[in-house]
Structure 1
Amino acid sequence: MTQLLVESASSGPAEPRMRRIGVSDLRVFPLAMSGNVFGWTAGSETTESILDAYAAAGGNFIDTADSYAAGRSEIMIGNWMRDRRNRAEMVVATKIGKNADNLGLRARTITRAVNASLERLQTSHIDLLYLHIDDADVAFDETLLAVDELIRVGKVRYFGGSDHTGNRLIEARIASALIGVAPMVALQNQYHLLHRTEYEGDLAHVVDRQGLGFMPRFALASGFLTGKYRTRADLALSSRGHEASRYLSRRGLRVLAALDTVAAAHGTSVATIALAWLLTKPRVVAPVASASRPEQVAELVASATVRLSRQQVTELDRVSAR
């Protein structure tokens, strides 16, 4: 079970510890830097500055997808690793299945998508490959055999699922055992203080039973859990406000108020505490969060060193419960 970052009483920052992804030998910083804005709202210079700030803070886990900005996110990350000569120090995760040129998870599509990602990333291998969709139109046998071949030739080290249900994870594990191929080691699904039931039910049980590493996506609820959206006027000020609007409710404001209290006690930001809460949960390895500016990186990576008291975790659990 992933060690919980909780103490009986509030204390000062601790040194971040690398966390192991499932049964793999991948050890990562407890905050994955998302590349979902690279090539979209963040240009080349901003992307490089964000990644520089993340690496300077000890970060080594970069999360992207072949569909982010139609592949430009991977290109920018690849250029940065080439220029910094730090590929060996980074754990690179990317996702396939949604790129317009390689939709779905047919065997030939998987192979083509991975080769394209390797070229854009300018690397010989992907550390963690996610199936970005659960393609029910393709038998797991076909998908798993294709991924296993990529693992055997060294183009992929490990793989996992994204937005898969507990039942589908069980089906995949059974299929991988029957045909004798590598199983999933990780899962990335939505999970945060305002979206708890999907993970905390049967899915968390399956993740635990299979020993998967869990990476919460949308960890800051489309920016709502940064605390910058508290009124309808706040939503109107941002181009991404419409994405956070679903959380502007009595429950959402109640959660922000509780986060304000805990953040004040630690002398840190609301976003830091929201991410630190995730790191107290079983099997959570590294929340996935994005920064649109380099100065935002500090409050994201600070979540790896904040130790919440049990009372604080309990209160955040209580106010965020439906």
Structure 2
Amino acid sequence: MSAERPTGGSRLVAVEQSPATGPIPLRRRRVGGSELRVFPVGLNGFGFESTVDTDVAFDILDTYRALGGNFIGTDASKEGRSEAVVGRWLRSRGARSSVILAATAASGVDSPGLGHAAIARAVDLSLGRLQTDYLDLLLLGPHDAAVPFEETLLAVDGLVRAGKVRYAGAVAHDANRLVEARVIAAMLGVAPLVAAQCDYGLANRHGFEGSVASVIADQGLGVLPRVPFSVPTSARRRRRTLAALDRIASEHHVSPATIAFAWLLSRPGVCAPIAAVSTVEQVLDLVASTTVQLTRHQVAALDRASE
């Protein structure tokens, strides 16, 4: 199904700066150097793959959109049910032109690896299931040692030229891989990556903060944290984190999950965390994080607890 493409010239809503709290997330954030403007928190459709029935999924998507949400991520390497659900919802609501769609191409049964043919097939499958003719953002899965990175980036460039993909980003790439991507893109004369999706949150800061975060900042990439909706409790450090979350959540009269996402939104470079949800209530907690104003003391307390 053909969908109307958005045109350029949309107004960028900036992130205001407050002397008391740092960045205050507003209704749209720019993804790296792209023209994409997304709601500060996104929905990951992975939860629709097997655990959420279609009626509940539609309620979740309707609620998110009604609250201003416009950023939905799917996974092109999975069985495809989540994309089919999102596609039916987009068509029934006539919502394609107002939604930013991101799909991940990685290793799957139908499209293994990051070679030219695999990426092309993964994108075509996603487009068919999503009932659209373009993706706003194609996220490249983790390193495929069997495929030269030049081949991957040229494949993406071909999809951009064909109008099937607007922009590309990376999933779980380390600092060296991100540097390599920028160098190769410059050598080949193709568009550079604009975003990086990383496992990042209060419970798993240290894999991101450091060299990866530094390279992302240098390249001006939009950070799209991929996080579980709840904070695990399996380690002492995470228990300390939960205690701090509980205390600060009570001060703001919101859920601990809301505070966890509010903390992420206060981090440098973070564009929009993407979370898989299974209930409407979780959507409400997620969206509430965009209006929570953490004090510097509260941010520091969460930093200490999660170290």
TM-score if structure 2 supplies the norm length? 0.92
Matches within 5 A, 1:31-46: 31-46=41-56
Q: Give the Cα–Cα distance (whole angstroms) in 2 for the partners of residues 161 and 5 of structure 1.
A: 28
Residues 94-105 of structure 1 aligned to structure 2 (within 5 Å): 94-105=103-114
CA contact (8 A) 2:228 2:276 kept: no
Counterpart selection for 2:288 from 279, 293, 302? 302
Provide the residue aligned with 1:292 in structure 2: 278
1:6–1:308 Cα contact (<8 Å) kept: no
Query: Which residue pairs with 1:157 in the alignment?
Result: 166
Give 5+ residue unaligned stretches, structure 2: 1-13
2: CA distance between counterparts of 1:188 and 1:5? 24
Match of 2:3?
Answer: none
Q: Find the counterpart in structure 2 of residue 196 from structure 1.
A: 205
CA distance in 2, matches of 1:258, 1:6: 23
Quote the residue 1:238 is aligned against. Answer: none
Instruction: Within 5 Å, give how 1:213-292 maps onto structure 2.
Output: 213-220=222-229, 223=230, 225=231, 244=232, 247-292=233-278
Q: Within the alignment, does 1:182 sit opposite 2:168 as a pair?
A: no
Distance 2:42 2:252 in 1: 22
Give the AA of the match of 2:20: S
CA positional deviation for 1:9? 6.2
* C-alpha distance in 2 between matches for 1:290 and 1:279: 17
Say whether 1:61 aligns with 2:71. yes
Shift of 1:17: 2.4
Per-residue deviation at 1:7? 5.3
Amino acid at match of 1:31: V
Shift of 1:138: 0.9
Letter in 2 for 1:315: A
* Aligned mate of 1:8, from 14, 20, 26: 20
Distance change in 2, residues 1:15/1:182 (3 Å): closer
Contact 2:140–2:169 (Cα < 8 Å) also in 1: yes
1:134 maps to amino acid: H
* CA distance in structure 2 between the partners assigned to 1:120 and 1:249 by the alignment: 40
State the alpha-carbon separation in 2 of the partners of residues 249 and 187 from structure 1.
27
Displacement of 1:113 in angstroms is: 1.1
Tell me what 1:240 maps to: none
In structure 2, the residue matched to 1:172 is: 181
Partner secondary structure for residue 199 of structure 2: coil
C-alpha contact 1:5 1:307 (8 A) present in aligned 2: no
TM-score (norm 1): 0.87
How far apart, in 1, do the equivalents of 2:180 and 2:116 lie?
Answer: 18
Q: Does 1:115 align with 2:124?
A: yes
Identity over aligned pairs, percent: 48
CA contact (8 A) 1:7 1:309 kept: no
Amino acid at match of 2:272: A
Q: Deviations over 1:93-132 (max 9, x none)?
A: 0101122110101101111111111111100100000012
What SS is found at the alignment partner of 1:199? coil
For 2:152 and 2:182, locate their aligned partners in 1 and report how far apart those are by CA, in whole Å.
12
Aligned residues: 293
Change in 2 beyond 3 A, CA 1:156/1:28: same
CA RMSD of aligned residues (A): 1.7
| Structure-2 separation of matches of 1:22 and 1:287 | 14
Contact 2:15 2:26 (8 Å CA) reproduced: no
What amino acid is aligned across from residue 256 of structure 1 in structure 2?
Answer: L
Distance in structure 2 (CA, Å) of the matches to 1:4 and 1:137 = 44
Q: Tell me: CA distance 1:67–1:9, structure 2 relative to 1, closer, same or farther (3 Å).
A: closer
Contact 1:190 1:219 in 2 (8 A): no
Match of 2:88 in 1: 79
Counterpart Cα distance in 2 of 1:9 and 1:141: 42
1:129 match: secondary structure = strand
**C-alpha distance in 2, partners of 1:16/1:303?**
11
**SS of 1:95 mapped into structure 2:** strand
Cα distance 1:187–1:4, how it changes in 2: closer, same or farther (>3 A)?
farther
Asked if structure 2 preserves the Cα contact closer than 8 Å seen for 1:219 and 1:275, the reply is no
Unpaired stretches in structure 1, ≥5 consecutive residues: 226-243
CA distance in 1: counterparts of 2:36 and 2:49, whole angstroms:
27
